[in-house]
């Protein structure tokens, strides 16, 4: 990421005294989605242009299914999940017949049990084990996408609100279907057309008119909050890192002492923030998974 930021700053505007670097262009180039992936290492640089496919026309809709940078890293995160957990699952099944798993498999088992007991069962309650697989998949999938944005030449797919929006939409569908299966159709409708008990018919009608829009908007704001929270946190961290790196090129044309001091300070702050970003990557994946369990639990025990 550091070398990529340097290369992008030079590409988007020199960096000398006569030509100020285009920091806005550097930030846009690295943070937003695109149709190319750049690799810069020890003076070697190469740009991989992703293929562009013909749009698919579905009546009045036109869908562009061409791969982009974030799509590539989204699929890479999914592949990493499969490569890590399928062998662990096979190994754990075999070892359980002889002895308890050890090493990395034991650590993963401890994490799975923690999520099952402290996140899924605690927030969903009866019948929670059926949702353990989905909650764990969300956590590790988001975690891998977050961490891939911290490796050199990587991109954070969760820094794209379309990706976080799709994750939130899937959670919304799972939550609402879970509520309908648990409460039945009439009980589920009661989570939308709601009025407090004990009122006379007129009071019930008035409260229902007031509370129904509130309940309906409440259903929509939950996935929206999931989408914005994950997107904003991942985008903010990378914006801060690249902005601090940009200080190096902003002061490149000044005295050597000033340039050296700014460079050392900038790299020190970036290194500290990158360590914080690792913690944030785990934290945001955990929060998304935990809130998903909370929302499922709330609708299953509505009113």
| pLDDT (mean) for 97-105 | 67
Q: Would you say residue 5 lies in a domain? A: no
Q: Are 295 and 175 in contact (CB under 8 A)?
A: yes
Instruction: Assess if residue 28 is contained within a domain.
Output: no
pTM of the model: 0.83
Residue 125 resides in a domain: yes
pLDDT per position as a tens digit, 256-267: 777 778 788 888
Number of structural domains the chain divides into: 1
Does the residue 236 lie in any domain? yes
Angle between helices 132-148 and 256-300 (to 10 degrees): 170
Instruction: Tell whether the model's pLDDT for residue 292 goes beyond 80.
Output: yes
The arithmetic mean of pLDDT across residues 158-164, rounded, is 91
Classify residue 70: in a domain, yes or no: yes
Q: From CA 177, how far away is CA 92, in angstroms rounded?
A: 32
Residue 152 inside a domain? The answer is yes
Query: Does residue 226 lie in a domain region?
Result: yes
In sequence order, the 6+-apart residues with CB closer than 8 A to the CB of 41 are 3, 152
Cα–Cα distance for residue pair 289/140, rounded to 1 Å:
9
Q: What is the pLDDT of residue 10?
A: 46
Angle between helix 2-11 and helix 201-250 axes, rounded to 10 deg: 70
In a domain, 56, yes or no: no
Half-sphere exposure of 5 (CA within 13 A, CB side): 25
Q: Where are the beta strands (DSSP E) in the chain?
A: 36-41, 44-49, 56-58, 61-63
45, 39 contact by CB (below 8 A) = yes
Predicted local confidence at residue 95, as pLDDT:
65
pLDDT score, position 262: 79
Structural domain boundaries enclosing 225: 33-48+62-300
């Amino acid at each position: 990421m550091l070398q990529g930021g340097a290369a992008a700053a030079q590409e988007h505007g020199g960096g000398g005294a006569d030509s100020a670097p285009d920091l806005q262009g550097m930030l846009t180039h690295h943070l937003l989605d695109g149709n190319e992936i750049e690799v810069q290492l020890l003076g070697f640089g190469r740009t991989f242009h992703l293929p562009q496919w013909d749009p698919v026309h579905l009546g009045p809709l036109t869908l562009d299914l061409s791969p982009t940078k974030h799509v590539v890293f989204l699929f890479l995160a999914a592949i990493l999940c499969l490569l890590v957990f399928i062998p662990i699952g096979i190994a754990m099944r075999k070892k359980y017949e002889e002895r308890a798993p050890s090493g990395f498999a034991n650590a993963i088992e401890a994490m799975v049990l923690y999520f099952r007991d402290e996140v899924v069962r605690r927030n969903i309650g009866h019948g929670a084990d059926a949702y353990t697989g989905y909650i764990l998949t969300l956590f590790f999938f988001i975690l891998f996408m977050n961490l891939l944005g911290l490796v050199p030449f990587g991109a954070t797919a969760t820094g794209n609100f379309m990706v976080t929006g799709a994750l939130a939409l899937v959670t919304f569908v799972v939550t609402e279907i879970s509520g309908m299966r648990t409460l039945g159709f009439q009980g589920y409708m009661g989570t939308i057309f709601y009025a407090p008990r004990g009122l006379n018919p007129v009071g019930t009608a008035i409260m229902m008119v007031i509370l129904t829009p509130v309940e309906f908007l409440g259903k929509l704001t939950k996935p929206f909050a999931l989408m914005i929270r994950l997107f904003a946190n991942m985008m903010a961290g990378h914006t801060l890192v690249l902005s601090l790196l940009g200080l190096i090129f902003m002061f490149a044309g000044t005295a050597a002492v000033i340039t050296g001091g700014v460079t050392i300070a900038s790299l020190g702050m970036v290194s500290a923030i990158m360590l914080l970003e690792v913690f944030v990557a785990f934290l945001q994946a955990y929060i998304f998974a935990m809130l998903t369990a909370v929302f499922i639990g709330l609708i299953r025990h509505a009113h």
